[in-house]
């Protein structure tokens, strides 16, 4: 297996091949519109050919910025929320040692994230952690005005300036934001911070292959050239000339739309590797923000097995039948850890002695899939040959392309997120933000009732 493979054999007991074949024309119509930039939200299609368009100069610029700062720091704080942090976090977690050890001979700064919440404990404890560390900040916000990262940046910038003085602090800040507009861009111009641009035609959740995702991934010591190469391969594998059954994004979009049409309203992304927990978080944002609108959309949920077989397994097996499952399977994990023999065989597991833990994990995966299919849960399988930059690039581009097609099949604009403003408006009214006087009065009246 050289590329990502999509297997829908365990959807076919629920949806016939002929029915899926019926999506051929429709998906090819939507993929054509996507590429001709004539579908909904076509102002936000910059991500579509990023893998093939990104040039050597931009890659070198990102690598140089990271390498220069990495020489003098132990910790890089990446500030951002939603699409401005999840892609990088997903890739970094998937590739990092689970206990923070270096995976190669070079050492790289520890990457920590901030501005993805407004928890006082988190922020206070981050400051405790940073007090005696040499650190720098990468602040990422397309709009430059998002409350969570803006608060974190205010606090940490002050901390950095107090620690190093304004001049050195300025050299330890990199900003990634829109070109020519927004509060963060103005600050970059005022303070002279090094900066990168988030293209106007790329939305947050599709921004992995812009500096938003690439810079933190290089800062963590991973190979963005391989990430881009993998995505480029998937760009080719999902291009308009590829026939339906050979295009994994088209088949995935068709299968999940047909299941949704028939009844399941929740898709559970499952994997058997804890390193992929944040990949699932990234996927949930991608599909949740892209499809969840106009009272439509598949609810994206996630589980990490086998841990969650001991919590969510019961529901998936026997609860309300409104689910389907998409499993990410890694064909060849890189480690080899064998199960030892025990003289007294007290736990009765000597039949596993000498086997790799992964063999047990794989049989758990296969056994669970069969049990869930028997329990009425359709199963889509995505197989990756290995967990590395190249295949993550394939996987994440595959999901982005499928999400765009899937959104078009649902007849929604997969590139906007009007609903996220509602909580912000209430929060600003409650906090008595100037300009929100009317909303403030209304919301306090409502709460006092």
Q: Give the catalytic positions in this structure.
A: 289, 310, 424
Nearer to ligand PA5, 203 or 264 (CB): 203
Stretch (H or E) spanning 240: none
Shortest separation between residue 141's beta carbon and ligand PA5, angstroms: 3
> Distance between CA 301 and CA 281 in Å, rounded?
9
Q: Does 210 bind ligand PA5 (CB under 6 A)?
A: no
- Build a one-symbol-per-residue string for 388-427: x at contacts with ligand PA5 by CB under 6 A, - elsewhere: -----------------------------x----------
* Residues 256, 259, 263: CA angle, nearest 5 degrees: 135
Nearer to ligand PA5, 149 or 216 (CB): 149
Shortest separation between residue 44's beta carbon and ligand PA5, angstroms: 9
Which of 141, 247, 329, 406 touches ligand PA5 by CB under 6 A?
Answer: 141
Q: Does 81 bind ligand PA5 (CB under 6 A)?
A: yes
* Contacts for 48 with CB less than 8 Å, ≥ 6 apart: 34, 35, 235, 401, 404
Strands (E), 331-413: 379-384
- Build a one-symbol-per-residue string for 175-204: x at contacts with ligand PA5 by CB under 6 A, - elsewhere: ----------------------------xx
Token pair for 347: 């736990």
> Distance between CA 381 and CA 386 in Å, rounded?
15
Please state, as a whole number, how many other Cβ atoms lie within 10 Å of the Cβ of residue 339.
16
Q: Does 143 bind ligand PA5 (CB under 6 A)?
A: yes
Q: Does 293 bind ligand PA5 (CB under 6 A)?
A: no
Q: Does 84 bind ligand PA5 (CB under 6 A)?
A: yes
Token pair for 129: 């952690």
> Distance between CA 317 and CA 323 in Å, rounded?
10
Which of 30, 89, 142, 293 touches ligand PA5 by CB under 6 A?
Answer: 142
Shortest separation between residue 347's beta carbon and ligand PA5, angstroms: 46
> Distance between CA 271 and CA 160 in Å, rounded?
39
Beta-sheet pairing, 75-79 with 135-140: parallel
In contact, 222 and 92? CB cutoff 8 Å: yes
Which of 83, 87, 264, 300 touches ligand PA5 by CB under 6 A?
Answer: 83
For ligand PA5, how many residues bind (rule: CB under 6 A)? 14
Binding site for ligand PA5 (CB under 6 A): 81-84, 141-143, 146, 149, 203-205, 289, 417
């Amino acid at each position: 297996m050289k590329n990502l493979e999509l297997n829908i054999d365990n959807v076919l007991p629920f949806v016939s091949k002929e029915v899926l074949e019926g999506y051929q024309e429709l998906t090819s119509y939507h993929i054509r519109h996507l590429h001709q930039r004539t579908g909904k939200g076509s102002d936000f299609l910059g991500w579509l050919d990023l893998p093939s368009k990104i040039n050597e100069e931009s890659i070198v610029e990102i690598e140089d910025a990271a390498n220069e700062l990495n020489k003098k720091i132990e910790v890089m704080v990446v500030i951002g929320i939603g699409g401005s942090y999840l892609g990088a976090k997903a890739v970094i977690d998937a590739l990092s040692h689970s206990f923070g050890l270096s995976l190669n001979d070079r050492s790289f700064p520890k990457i920590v994230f901030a501005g993805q919440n407004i928890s006082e404990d988190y922020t206070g404890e981050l400051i405790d952690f940073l007090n005696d560390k040499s650190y720098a900040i990468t602040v990422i916000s397309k709009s430059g005005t998002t409350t969570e990262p803006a608060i974190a940046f205010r606090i940490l910038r002050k901390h950095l300036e107090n620690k190093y003085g304004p001049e050195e602090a300025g050299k330890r800040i990199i900003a990634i934001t829109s070109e020519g507009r927004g509060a963060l861009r103005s600050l970059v111009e005022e303070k002279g911070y090094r900066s990168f641009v988030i293209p106007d035609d790329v939305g947050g959740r599709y921004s992995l292959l812009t500096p938003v995702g690439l810079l933190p991934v290089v800062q963590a010591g991973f190979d963005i050239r391989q990430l881009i190469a993998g995505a480029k391969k998937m760009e080719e594998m999902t291009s308009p000339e590829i026939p339906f059954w050979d295009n994994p994004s088209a088949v995935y979009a068709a299968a999940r739309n047909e299941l949704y049409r028939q009844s399941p309203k929740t898709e559970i992304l499952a994997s058997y590797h804890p390193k992929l927990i944040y990949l699932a978080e990234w996927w949930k944002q991608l599909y949740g923000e892209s499809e969840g609108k106009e009272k439509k959309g598949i609810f994206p949920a996630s589980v990490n097995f086998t841990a969650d077989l001991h919590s969510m397994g019961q529901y998936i097996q026997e609860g309300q039948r409104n689910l389907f499952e998409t499993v990410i399977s890694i064909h060849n994990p890189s480690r080899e850890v064998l199960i030892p023999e025990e003289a007294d065989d007290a736990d009765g597991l000597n039949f596993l002695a000498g086997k790799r833990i992964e063999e047990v994990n794989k049989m758990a995966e296969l056994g669970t899939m069969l049990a869930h299919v028997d329990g009425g849960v359709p199963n889509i399988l995505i197989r990756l040959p290995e967990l590395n930059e190249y295949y993550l690039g394939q996987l994440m581009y595959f999901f982005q392309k499928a999400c765009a097609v899937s959104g078009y099949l649902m007849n929604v604009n997969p590139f906007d997120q009007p609903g996220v403003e509602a909580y912000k408006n209430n929060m600003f009214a409650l906090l008595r933000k100037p300009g929100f006087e009317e909303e403030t009065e209304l919301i306090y009246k409502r709460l006092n009732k």
